Amino acid sequence: MRLFVALALPGMISAQLSGLIGGIQGARWVPPENYHLTLRFIGEVEPWQAEEVDEALAAIRAKPFELSLKGVGLFEKGGRVTALWAGVERSDSLAHLQAKVETALQRVGLEPERRRFAPHVTLARTDRAAPEKLIAFVQAHNLFRAPPVAVEHFTLFSSKLGKEQAVYVPEVEYELV
């Protein structure tokens, strides 16, 4: 199984984000049903490891909080723009939840995440898009804001890679109380 831990986005926010997309040739836009905020990518695991991951995540205790999306930006790798994203306002509650997820997963033997947590919602993969078009998109939408939404659970997703796009399946939801 290929797994990741994320916050699913409510339909209202997905609809707002999907209103931004389009108009950049070569960009592979993420379908709105796949919008999420990754807390931790896990990757391929054996079924017994998936059970351990589930037990570890179920033991996490954190309080519900509000999440706000703000702005858009680009990720670069090796001088090439690889992704277009919507930003997430930093909050102590989000950082706390992400740290608890990371700690729980390390306790069951997963390697520590090497990348610094950069909360975002991927809108498009952009390795085949013209950089000037991407920069213009960011400039046109950098004032994007979505109203705060209540985060009352986080989710363990499985990911199945397809020809056109990945299919994300929510496997287990963990309530925040």
* 16-52 confidence digits (pLDDT tens): 999 999 999 999 999 999 999 999 999 999 999 999 9
Catalytic hit among 96, 120, 141, 153: 120
Regions in the chain scoring below 70 on pLDDT: none
The yes-or-no answer on residue 36 being catalytic is: yes
Q: At what angle do helices 92-107 and 47-58 cross, to 10 degrees?
A: 140
Q: What fold is seen in the domain 2-175?
A: Cyclic Phosphodiesterase; Chain: A, (3.90.1140)
Catalytic hit among 36, 96, 141, 153: 36
Token reading at 109 = 């033997």
Residue 165: per-residue pLDDT: 79
Q: What is the CA radius of gyration of the chain?
A: 16
The yes-or-no answer on residue 120 being catalytic is: yes
pLDDT tens track for 97-107: 999 999 999 99
Token reading at 118 = 């950069």
The CA-atom distances, in angstroms, between 151 and each of 1, 6, 40, 115, 127 are: 26, 11, 16, 24, 32
